[in-house]
Structure 1
Amino acid sequence: MPSEDTELKKAGLRVTLPRLKILQILEAGIEDHLSAEDIYQQLRDSGDDVGIATVYRVLTQFEAAGIIIRHNFANGAAVYELDRGGHHDHMVCTDSGAVTEFHSDEIEQLQEQIAADHGYQLVGHNLVLYVKPLK
């Protein structure tokens, strides 16, 4: 696995302490989908002096460089995840806000077929299922 320095340089970004710290939090994988506020709080909890404006600026740079993907689920603030390649979809619990990633070959094939039935070739999509626990 490449180091954070290598990842930043490969993305054309200068290696700075705030960028390294934020990338380390995202790569730690404790949570897959973090808001800017979540990242800021983790930085504060670990004693790092990085402001919230810096967190937002770095996340914007990471998104532009293709390091992360931003999601705007209907339940609140934007959340970010590392772009690890490969496609997956999301389920968002309307009660807790928990985000679950999933992949279904059947859904992927059905979407391609629907596009073809309408005279199109599917080039990308974003599927989010909003769910609540079964009672």
Structure 2
Amino acid sequence: MSHPARIEEHDDALRAAGLRVTRQRRAILQVLTQADDHPDVPELHRRVQAEEPAVSLATVYRTLAALSEKGVVQKLAFEGAPARFETSDAPHHDHIVDLDTGEVIEFVSAEIERLQREVARRHGYEIVSHKLELYCRKR
């Protein structure tokens, strides 16, 4: 997607969340969209400040809360860790959480997806949504 199209998409997401479009809010969404990890609020704030030095921690919290409520971003609450965030338009994936380092690894498994559908079907259900989090330690 082109840069102007991405900016327009972000502006639309902010408006849909009931937020005024500002440089700071646009930067928050841009940084989160470009993240290849799952930043928590302080880390996201640090990254956004590199682009928009005047952005406050409160602005990051309020923006994420509004975008999360509207489904633009997902709040990930891994056991024993601060909430992390990712955009909702990312393709479906599951997570491995390294209990020793806190690292979160995304993965996709067609076999796991098939098994989940089969289990749901056997019990008379169709999956509407799901998430899988594996909490692991390296061997």
TM-score (norm 1): 0.87
The residue number in structure 1 matching 2:82 is 77
The residue number in structure 2 matching 1:17 is 23
The residue number in structure 2 matching 1:36 is 41
CA distance, structure 1, for counterparts of residue 138 and residue 64 of structure 2: 32
After superposition, residues 83-94 of structure 1 pair within 5 angstroms as 83-94=88-99
Higher helix share: 2
Deviation of 1:102 after TM superposition, in Å, equals 0.7
CA distance, structure 2, for counterparts of residue 3 and residue 47 of structure 1: 18
3-state SS, counterpart of residue 3 of structure 1 = helix
**How many percent of aligned residue pairs carry the same amino acid?**
36
Deviation of 1:76 after TM superposition, in Å, equals 0.7
Unpaired runs of 5+ residues, structure 1, are: none
The residue number in structure 2 matching 1:129 is 134
Unpaired runs of 5+ residues, structure 2, are: none
CA distance, structure 2, for counterparts of residue 43 and residue 6 of structure 1: 18
Deviation of 1:4 after TM superposition, in Å, equals 2.2
8 Å CA contact 2:24–2:52 kept in 1: the answer is no
Give the direction of change, closer, same or farther, for the CA distance of 1:55–1:119 in structure 2 (3 Å limit): same
3-state SS, counterpart of residue 64 of structure 2 = helix
CA distance, structure 1, for counterparts of residue 87 and residue 68 of structure 2: 9
8 Å CA contact 2:10–2:26 kept in 1: the answer is no
Deviation of 1:23 after TM superposition, in Å, equals 1.4
One-letter code aligned to 2:103: A
Count of residue pairs brought into register by the alignment: 133
After superposition, residues 44-63 of structure 1 pair within 5 angstroms as 44-46=49-51, 48-63=53-68
The residue number in structure 2 matching 1:3 is 6
TM-score (norm 2): 0.84
